[in-house]
Chains A and B, each alone.
Chain A
Amino acid sequence: DTAVSQTPKYLVTQMGNDKSIKCEQNLGHDTMYWYKQDSKKFLKIMFSYNNKELIINETVPNRFSPKSPDKAHLNLHINSLELGDSAVYFCASSQDNGGTDTQYFGPGTRLTVL
């Protein structure tokens, strides 16, 4: 009965590979997010979807492509992985897009690019 789940939890891969991270929420929320946490623990928004529509697309390389097949799912596909992509990626969801609504975070996916 996990609220926000992510798979996989750990991902180790070689430079140049393509990988995907999946996120699912069972809270009935309308908005989902991807955040990146770097090695210094700094957290930054990457993307946000509201009702399957992209509403936030920060200055992220176009090798990163989010996809939301439905309101409960938001996946992140990364092409041609680079060393600098190594980080922890967090999915989150909220009822509304921003403002006062609490965002609920998944456990994170630790991506290591070798």
Chain B
Amino acid sequence: QVQLQESGPGLVKPSQTLSLTCTVSGGSISSGDYYWSWIRQPPGKGLEWIGYIYYSGSTYYNPSLKSRVTISVDTSKNQFSLKLSSVTAADTAVYYCASFTMSRAFDIWGQGTMVTVSS
């Protein structure tokens, strides 16, 4: 059973870059069965899709964040990563990594990691 685990700093200063990593266990990130995704949820609010990446490196981003987002994959470590630049308080959220199936659904989620943007 595939499991996902997010890791990274819980506090980022305004204007800096948020960096998170998602480690995939119980399966290969290169299997081709999934796109690997990032989703966020501001406190008390709904879900927002950030983007996803295929093991080959093809990426798809939410246009509202595209200018600031980079998602990359490291198949040797079975990990994929998120970088969000020029962060503001509006980027404060729980960040989830998730697998995205060919049925266009997020079927496996990490537990989520809270990232606060504050000086």
Do A and B come together as binding partners?
no
Instruction: List the interface of chain A (C-beta within 8 A of B).
Output: none
